[in-house]
Amino acid sequence: MAKPLSLRKAMNLIQQSETRLVRMHTNTSPEGYAHYLIPGGYVEPWIAEKIKAHPGVVAGNDGLFPGHDQTWRMRTTR
């Protein structure tokens, strides 16, 4: 697994308009998935949850099944 981004770096990246938090399938994680900032890099699970919980972050409503989001973005930029 790649070196994870720090919380500060991840929050700075998600505030850029083109950056998305993406949940991807992987065989290297016990959960079966991992989160990445695109562009940016790997995000640890606890950091991904903090990003999702931020009041300015909205889900993409784009998962394969209803209610299962796959991408998140910041509602507004700096």
Q: What is the pLDDT of residue 76?
A: 66
Tell me if residue 47 falls in helix, strand or coil.
Answer: helix
Model pLDDT for residues 35-56, shown as the tens digit of each residue: 999 999 999 999 999 999 999 9
CA angle 47, 50, 66 (to 5 degrees): 105
From 75, 9, 77, 69, select the one nearest 42 (Cα to Cα).
Answer: 9
Structure tokens at 3: 């070196």
pTM for the full predicted model:
0.83
Q: Answer yes or no: are the C-beta atoms of 16 and 37 closer than 8 Å.
A: no
Q: Answer yes or no: are the C-beta atoms of 74 and 15 closer than 8 Å.
A: yes
User: Taking the CA of residue 5 as centre, how many other CA atoms within 13 Å lie in the half-sphere pointing to its CB?
Assistant: 23
Residue 27's pLDDT band (cuts 50, 70, 90): confident
Residue 1's pLDDT band (cuts 50, 70, 90): low
